[in-house]
Every structure is written in structure tokens, then in C-alpha cells.
A and B are shown apart, each in its own frame.
Chain A
Amino acid sequence: MNGAEVLLEALEQEEVEDIFGYPGAVLLALLDALLRSKIRHILVRHEQGAVHAADGYARVNSKVGVCLATSGPGATNLVTGIANAYMDSIPMVILTGQVSTELLGTDSFQEADITGITIPITKHSYIVKDAAQLPRIVKEAFYLARTGRPGPVLIDLPKDILNQEVKKTASSKMTLKNYKVFGKGNTGQIEEFAKSIANSLKPVIYGGGGIIWAGATGPLRNLVEKCNLPVVSTLMGLGCLPSDHPNFLGMAGMHGTVTANYALDDCDLLIALGVRFDDRVTSGLGNKFATKAKIVHIDIDPAEIGKVVRANVPIVGDVYLVLEELVSRLVPPKITQWWEQIHSWQKSYPLRYEQDGRLSPQIILESIAETAGDDAVIVTDVGQHQMWVAQCYPFKYPRQLVTSGGLGTMGFGLPAAVGAQVAQPEKNIVLITGDGSLQMTIQELATIVQHQLPVKIVLMNNGVLGLVRQWQKMFYDERFSEIQLHANPDFVKVAEAYGIKGIRVTSAQDVKPCLTKAMAYPGPVLMDFVISPDEVVLPMVVPGNAITDMLGR
């Protein structure tokens, strides 16, 4: 066996079924071995597409996503996607080709120090120097990627290692002596947690992506319903509780609901579950955030506790196991008055938009929810459309939203939808994107055609970079700078050129019929919804101000 075959065998051991990748010269041995492997390789059109596809795949299937790129430019094209996965704690294994070991460090053709470049954005990385070590390295990489706080792990594969004939491979026994995975929380602290709930007058749960990755939505719901606790979520936490649940107050933060932000500000007990107090929630003001509250912070990553805000009851552990242990100790608090306050905020400050018959983003989103089915997966890009989705879409279950949270990567959407559709061939995968974001990775339209992925693409086309324009409108006296996308193509024709059904919609009454038709269509569809550049995302926290200072209340 050569190194490439050893590698593929090790990947099969990890139950890898799909790899997203793009070939190159140093990968020839691996490409050849792939012909004889059960693993399916999804050929993309740009390496960034491969890494985002692996990311979308991981988010939807809660499996480790795998991508492959060649050395040098192939590897560096992955960097944005690796950073994206790192910021959102997505389990991923990245395979990069590398020049032969004897050429390493000589600035040889298509050489880049990808392990060096990616140190700050990977959980760990390996450069393989002996093919016999591959079974151990692959096993460790997958273990590191999916356990604890998940994250991307990179394996750099020099060309000669892929070609190296291996007589007997070393064992796949892991040698991670010091890597610690936190499981159960400290029992004393969990008792303190339960007491804090029982004694609270104004508690609120602030839930994030950690709940989703811990599979803790069941225990969360138990906790919420047993104690009648209100819940706000982060962007990454959407779906942790159904959005129509009476205890769900909406997303918190910059474009969150007024009620969610007021509740965070006014609470006397903040229960932070699998969140990292991102500045898009705290407005970058960690020391002015939830100042009246006792803070219980539960996270699997000890470094997140105390990083941004003080934690009065820190609990390091798996949020699922912590909540399971908590349930038997729960005493519901007396919070009728708190709920009266919350209901009065909800009544005074609902999410609202003008229904004047125009083709508004909200009408598109409502129609998607009505036509795509409850189990549709919504993939977004980054920008105004993403925030409208976060505010309005009626998410019912975890992993229903695939979105770039921490890094905010425009161009994430289309390739992530590729990954989501490969992961869930039977589900409706709806990509909601903008004309700015879509054009960053538009080449992946070819990937959805080549692999017959029936992705439904909802393009909110306003001809501008809407979120930047919105800031210029609100905070720079409408001095619009560099946000006009004047030379936009005809997206319907672009779709058709790729062999994709394209539909343009310009009026509100055509929205639902178009979506109904698209959802019933067996192949991919691109719907070009022409909306006004003056649409804004509201409410909005004034940048730099406390989260209660919201425009558009």
C-alpha cells in the first residue's frame, strides 16, 4: 500500500463518506487511490468552495466535514474557510497536499507553509513525515476535531508521503497525552446553579451554538418548561428552542429583538449556555453587560469563562451533561412579575415591518417558511438578508440554520448549501443570499449542476452592499461609498448559462407562486427577487452603545 491508500483506509475507519476537494499535482497518488475507494469526492470549482461545503456538511449532519486541496495556492485558498470553521467551532478535517519532504523549505513550486499559516485558526495541525504514522494522525485529527469544543484540524501531506510504500503501518493508537475533554460539570457548582434559579426574580437563559453542538436542546427544553424561564439566543443558537415557543424572546444583540436585549440588561440571573459573549451580543462592552445579574456561565472551553465577562458561577463542562444533572435539583422560581414585564416589552416593541404591498424581504421569508416545509434547511450568506432571516424565519429545530456567525464570511452560502445538500439529499435546502455574497463564490453553481444538487437559491437582489449602505445611511449622512454593484449580471441568465432554472420576481404577489413552483421542481432553481436598496435591518443597537440603545424600536 502507498501512503494515499493508507490515508483513505484511515478515513474510512472514521466513517468518512464524502470529501469536498479540488485536485493538484502533488495529490496525484491520492486522486488515483480515490478511484478505488468507497469515499465520494465532490469536485468543487474553487478550494474556498470545498472548505465551506465541508463546513455546511458538518453543521447539518453533526459529523466531521472533510475537505481536500493541493499545495500552495490550493491550500491558501482554504484559509478563509478554515478561519470561518474555527470561529464557529465546526468539526472539520482539512487535508492539504504539500511538496515532497526533500523540497520543503526551499520555496519550491506551489509550496506554502500551510501549517504555519493556519496555526491561529486551527485547533491543531500535523505535517506527516512518515506514511506509517497516518493511521494514528488521522484518528487523532478526527478525535480532536469532534470532541470538546469542536474545531478544524489540518493534516499536511507531502507528495512523497502519499507515494511512500508502507509494508506495515504503525498502530492507530492515539498519543494525545494531555488533551482533556470536559464532560460532567462540578456538582457543587451545579447545586449553586440550581439555587440561583430558585432564588432568582428575573432570570433569563442566553443560549448559543454550544447547545446545538452538545445536542442539548432536549434538556434545555426541560429546564425552560419546568421553571418557565425566558430564553434569548445568539445567531448560532437559533433553533435551540422553536422560535414560536412562548418562552422564546428572539435573538439578542446588534439586530436582536428589543425584548431580548432589555431582558439581558435587566435580568438578575443570566444563564449563559454554550456562548462566548461575542461583541455582536454585548456591543463590545463586556463590563457594562448584564450588570445587575448574577452570571452562571457553562461552557466546554474553560478559556471562554471569564474571557469577556465575570462569571459568578462558572461551570466547565458539556452543556448536555450539566443540564441533565441540573434537572433533578430544579425548584421553579417565582417570576410572574418578570413575565409581566417581558410581555409588556413584547407588546410595545414587536418586530414589525411595513406591509405596503412592495416586494419586501419579510414577504419572501414568510413565503419560504410556507412553501419549503418544516424540515427545510436554511443556508444564508452574510449581510442584511442574513439578519432578516435571523429575525423572521420560524426555526423549529436545531441545525435548521446554516450561517457564518463569528467570521461573517460573504461567499459562505452557496458552497455551504452544496455541503448541506450532499449531507441531506432528501431535504429542501434553501440558500438565502444577496447579490454581493453570491458573486463571491458564484462559480459553485457548476458544482450543484455537476452533482445534481437541487438547491433552491433565493437571491435578495438590491444591487448594493446593503448592510454597509445601511451604516452609511444611518451614521455617515448618506455618503454612500463603494457600495454600488453597478455591473451586476443578469442572474437569471447566469443561472441558465449553468443549466439552472432561473426565475425573476419583481412584485410581491408573484413571490409565493414562484417559491411554490421552485420547491416542487426536482432540480436547482435560482430565484432573483428584486428588492429595494433602501430596505434596512431594524431594530439595531447603535454601535458602541449599550444593547438597550436601539434604533427602530
Chain B
Amino acid sequence: MLHTLAVLVENHPGVLMRVVGLFARRAYNIDSLSVCQTENPSISRMTIVVSGDDSIIEQVSKQLYKLVVVHKVTDLTNEPIIDRELALVRVRVNAESRLEVLHTVNVFRGRVVDMGRSNITVEITGDGQKIDAFVRTMRPYGLLELVRTGTIAVMRSDG
């Protein structure tokens, strides 16, 4: 099962290596990882999607806490969260398919960010499933390039 962990860490050089190295040497699988500075410039936030059962996730979390650079680990999996990925998708189009593709992009609330003679580039955000669905829909037209970020997530406010 996939778990989404929010990990607050010190914003120092080498911190990413400590965290990623821990996953590698203990054979935990990272599905996706995204890192950014937070509202506090001395703290970075890693959103790590990791696969494993509850006991593995508990170990991951405990091992992460042993790193001096890790401040807080939150398992967002069973929490009400908003999670997003961003994808840039370049699709082949021709005179015949262009309108159909643009229509589909609209349905998915994507944005066309570049247009060439024979292809268009679409920016799309959403949770992983939505992006999967969009990519699936575009594939028959000819998927030329796909760039996709890892998940980022925040907990919903409690009212």
C-alpha cells in the first residue's frame, strides 16, 4: 500500500543524502519524492510516497526520527489531505485531432503552455489518478514527452 509521508528536515547540504540513503540501505521503496523549502527558510519539507505495510511504515518513521536532521514525520495516508502533482505533457496533434485534444485538455482543466505545428504541450495539475487518466487519454494521439513531479500534499484545515 502507498503511504504519503510529510517529513520536515533541516535545510542543509547533505540532508537529502541522509534521508534517501536511509531508504536505500533499509530496502524501503520510494515511489516519489519532492523537496522544497518551507515558509521557514531553515526547514525543508519532503513529501515521500513510500510503499509498504503498516509495520514497514512504522519502521520508516522511527528510523527517520533517528536522523538528527529530521524534525517531524507525519503519515498523511489516512488523513484528509489535498495532494497534487504537476505534469507537462507534449502530445502529437494534426489538423484532424487538434480540436479533439484541446477539448479533452479543457475537460481535465489543463492549460496549453506551448503549441507547435505538430504538437502541443499541456500543463496539468491534480492528484496522481487524475494525471494517470489524462496521460491515458492522450496516449492514442501520440505521447511525445512526459515530465511529472512527485506528489506534494497538505492536510486539510479542520474547519
Binding site for B on A (CB under 8 A): 115-116, 119-120, 123-124, 144, 176-180, 301-303, 306-307
| In contact, A303 and B17 (Cβ under 8 angstroms) | no
CB of B80 closer than 8 Å to a CB of A: no
- The chain A residue with its CB closest to the CB of B59 is A307
Distance from A416 Cβ to chain B, minimum over Cβ atoms (Å): 26
Q: Which of A115, A120, A144, A302 contacts B65 (CB 8 A)?
A: A302
Given pairs A115-B14, A306-B58, 15 additional interface contacts (CB within 8 A)? A116-B17, A119-B18, A144-B68, A176-B68, A177-B71, A178-B70, A178-B71, A179-B68, A180-B65, A302-B62, A303-B59, A303-B62, A303-B63, A303-B65, A307-B59
- The chain A residue with its CB closest to the CB of B72 is A178
| Complex interface residues of chain B between 80 and 97 (CB less than 8 A to chain A) | none
Distance from B6 Cβ to chain A, minimum over Cβ atoms (Å): 15
Q: Which of B55, B66, B71, B72 contacts A301 (CB 8 A)?
A: B66
- The chain A residue with its CB closest to the CB of B13 is A127
Binding site for A on B (CB under 8 A): 14, 17-18, 21, 25, 55, 58-59, 62-63, 65-68, 70-72
Known contacts A115-B14, A119-B17, A119-B21; is-contact A306 B59 (Cβ 8 Å): yes
| In contact, B58 and A120 (Cβ under 8 angstroms) | no
Determine the chain B residues whose CB is within 8 A of the CB of A302 once the complex forms. 62, 65
Determine the chain A residues whose CB is within 8 A of the CB of B65 once the complex forms. 180, 302-303
- The chain B residue with its CB closest to the CB of A310 is B55
| In contact, B66 and A178 (Cβ under 8 angstroms) | no
Q: CA separation between A432 and B95, bound complex, in Å?
A: 85
Residue of A178, A179, A307 with most partner-chain B CB within 10 A: A178
Q: CA separation between A119 and B22, bound complex, in Å?
A: 9
Determine the chain B residues whose CB is within 8 A of the CB of A177 once the complex forms. 71
Distance from B27 Cβ to chain A, minimum over Cβ atoms (Å): 13
| In contact, A178 and B58 (Cβ under 8 angstroms) | no
- The chain B residue with its CB closest to the CB of A129 is B13
Q: CA separation between A532 and B72, bound complex, in Å?
A: 57
Distance from B50 Cβ to chain A, minimum over Cβ atoms (Å): 16
Distance from A328 Cβ to chain B, minimum over Cβ atoms (Å): 30
Q: 28 A–B contact pairs at CB < 8 A? A: A115-B14, A116-B14, A116-B17, A119-B17, A119-B18, A119-B21, A120-B21, A120-B25, A123-B68, A124-B67, A144-B68, A176-B68, A177-B71, A178-B68, A178-B70, A178-B71, A178-B72, A179-B68, A180-B65, A302-B65, A303-B62, A303-B63, A303-B65, A303-B66, A306-B55, A306-B58, A306-B59, A307-B59
| In contact, A124 and B62 (Cβ under 8 angstroms) | no
Known contacts A116-B17, A119-B18, A119-B21; is-contact A124 B59 (Cβ 8 Å): no
Determine the chain A residues whose CB is within 8 A of the CB of B72 once the complex forms. 178
Determine the chain B residues whose CB is within 8 A of the CB of A179 once the complex forms. 68
Distance from A79 Cβ to chain B, minimum over Cβ atoms (Å): 15
- The chain B residue with its CB closest to the CB of A115 is B14
Determine the chain A residues whose CB is within 8 A of the CB of B25 once the complex forms. 120
Determine the chain B residues whose CB is within 8 A of the CB of A306 once the complex forms. 55, 58-59
Q: CA separation between A177 and B62, bound complex, in Å?
A: 17
Q: CA separation between A301 and B62, bound complex, in Å?
A: 9
Distance from A387 Cβ to chain B, minimum over Cβ atoms (Å): 29
| In contact, B68 and A124 (Cβ under 8 angstroms) | yes
Distance from B23 Cβ to chain A, minimum over Cβ atoms (Å): 12
- The chain B residue with its CB closest to the CB of A179 is B68
Q: CA separation between A120 and B63, bound complex, in Å?
A: 12
Distance from B59 Cβ to chain A, minimum over Cβ atoms (Å): 6
Determine the chain B residues whose CB is within 8 A of the CB of A301 once the complex forms. 66
Determine the chain B residues whose CB is within 8 A of the CB of A180 once the complex forms. 65
- The chain B residue with its CB closest to the CB of A149 is B66
Distance from A295 Cβ to chain B, minimum over Cβ atoms (Å): 15
Residue of A176, A179, A302, A303 with most partner-chain B CB within 10 A: A303
Please give me the 6 A-B residue pairs with the lowest Cβ-Cβ distance, nearest first.
Answer: A303-B62, A124-B68, A178-B71, A302-B62, A303-B63, A120-B25
- The chain B residue with its CB closest to the CB of A177 is B71
Determine the chain A residues whose CB is within 8 A of the CB of B66 once the complex forms. 123, 301, 303
Distance from B10 Cβ to chain A, minimum over Cβ atoms (Å): 9
Q: CA separation between A124 and B22, bound complex, in Å?
A: 13
Q: CA separation between A119 and B19, bound complex, in Å?
A: 10
- The chain A residue with its CB closest to the CB of B24 is A120
Q: CA separation between A302 and B21, bound complex, in Å?
A: 20
Q: CA separation between A123 and B65, bound complex, in Å?
A: 12
Distance from B5 Cβ to chain A, minimum over Cβ atoms (Å): 15
Determine the chain B residues whose CB is within 8 A of the CB of A120 once the complex forms. 21, 25
- The chain A residue with its CB closest to the CB of B9 is A178
Determine the chain B residues whose CB is within 8 A of the CB of A307 once the complex forms. 59
Distance from A395 Cβ to chain B, minimum over Cβ atoms (Å): 31
Q: CA separation between A302 and B58, bound complex, in Å?
A: 10
Residue of B17, B18, B25, B72 with most partner-chain A CB within 10 A: B18
Q: CA separation between A303 and B65, bound complex, in Å?
A: 9
